[in-house]
């Protein structure tokens, strides 16, 4: 009995279709196009491969796709029987003209070479109203990182996730004369985008994003994270002029409030104003009835990490962020 026949004979019913997609014979560096879009009837098998075989996670992803919570832009598998466990790639269309990719775990160098070629093919043929493709990987996924880099992605940042407990009893300290904090979620989006853009000047938080996206698209992406609450979007003013913004969205599905963006213009940094604005965000988070306030910060942004620690945030998981401009996006 050949190795492939043995694999088919011993496969579980759930895994059998994946095995049918596998015969390690061709050289992935010379093979013909391999990215095959997965038909609806095979989605469950491909998603299970994508999430590492977890049946509960598979069901949750499929439910979110069916309910429209995950706007599916495509689901592909390496379909030329090149490796025993062919890579799977999921694309989800996001707000702000972005598309997020999720890559299945890669076990060895041969799978990595196949994944690289599949990603290249998918990116070259992707027809979605997006300008940027992005990927978030758990720390330590070195083969997946290598595939992305070889497929033209750039490493944007190592993101440290941090959080703290909050409740409705949180209080803020009095503001100095001339300093005010007000909600800005209903402000003119053009003016708000202009202020947001000014906070990017000499930023230490993901500086590689500078100039890759329109500020209006970034703003749309922030609004779509969690559940937009205009009262939790605030602006810091000094003598009536906006100098900083804090955008927080409640996310009841995961039991937290997300601080999706926090930043000050260059001239306002180092004056203690960031502490006042962050303190307001912490106090406001408690009114949503959720126990945690979470954020992600570029590990190179040491001043921000120091501030977050001082105000009670503790470090959590780490992820690597990758981005790639789409060469010929489909304009909506």
How far apart are the C-alpha atoms of 8 and 22, rounded to whole Å?
10
Closest to 44 in 3D by CA, of 62, 63, 64, 69: 62
Contact 192, 183 (CB under 8 A): no
Closest to 103 in 3D by CA, of 71, 136, 125: 136
Q: DSSP character for 287?
A: G
pLDDT of amino acid 253 = 86
pTM (2 d.p.)? 0.83
pLDDT of amino acid 26 = 46
Give the 3-state secondary structure of residue 308: helix
CA distances from 110 to 77, 85, 224 (A): 15, 10, 38
Q: Which residues of the chain fall short of a pLDDT of 70?
A: 1-33, 80-83, 328-332
pLDDT of amino acid 213 = 83
Provide the H-helix boundaries in the chain. Answer: 3-10, 13-20, 43-50, 55-67, 109-125, 142-150, 189-199, 215-224, 273-285, 302-310
pLDDT of amino acid 229 = 95
Q: What is the pLDDT of residues 304-317, one digit of tens each?
A: 999 999 999 999 99
**CA 94: distance to chain centroid?**
10
Place of tokens 């003119």: 188
Q: Across the strands, what pairs with 237?
A: 180, 242
pLDDT of amino acid 33 = 61
- Which structural domains are found in the chain, ordered by start? 3-152 (3.40.630), 162-318 (3.40.630.30)
């Amino acid at each position: 009995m050949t190795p492939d026949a043995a694999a088919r004979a011993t496969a579980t019913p759930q895994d059998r279709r994946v095995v049918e997609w596998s015969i390690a014979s061709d050289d992935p560096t010379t093979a013909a196009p391999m990215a095959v879009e997965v038909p609806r009837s095979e989605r469950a098998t491909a998603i299970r491969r994508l999430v590492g075989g977890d049946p509960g996670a598979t069901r949750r992803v499929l439910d979110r796709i069916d309910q429209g919570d995950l706007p599916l832009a495509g689901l592909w598998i390496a379909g030329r029987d090149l490796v025993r466990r062919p890579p799977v790639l999921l694309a989800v269309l996001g707000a702000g003209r972005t598309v997020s990719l999720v890559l299945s775990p890669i076990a060895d160098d041969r799978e990595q070479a196949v994944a690289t070629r599949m990603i290249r093919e998918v990116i070259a043929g992707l027809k979605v109203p997006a300008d940027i493709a992005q990927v978030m990987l758990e720390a330590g996924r070195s083969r997946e990182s290598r595939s992305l880099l070889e497929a033209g992605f750039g490493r944007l940042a190592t993101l440290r996730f941090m959080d703290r407990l909050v409740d409705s009893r949180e209080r803020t300290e009095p503001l100095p004369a001339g300093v005010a904090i007000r909600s800005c979620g209903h402000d003119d989006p053009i003016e708000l985008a202009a202020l947001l853009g000014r906070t990017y000047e000499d930023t230490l938080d993901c500086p590689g994003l500078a100039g890759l996206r329109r500020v209006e698209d970034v703003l749309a992406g922030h609004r779509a994270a969690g559940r937009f609450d205009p009262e939790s979007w605030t602006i810091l003013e000094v003598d009536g002029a906006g100098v900083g913004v804090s955008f927080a969205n409640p996310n009841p599905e995961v039991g937290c409030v997300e601080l999706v963006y926090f930043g000050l213009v260059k001239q306002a940094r180092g004056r203690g104003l960031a502490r006042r604005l962050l303190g307001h965000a912490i106090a406001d988070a408690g009114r949503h009835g959720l126990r945690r306030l979470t954020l992600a910060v570029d590990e190179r942004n040491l001043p921000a990490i120091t501030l977050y620690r001082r105000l009670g945030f503790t470090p959590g998981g780490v992820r690597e962020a990758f981005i790639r401009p789409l060469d010929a996006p489909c304009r909506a």
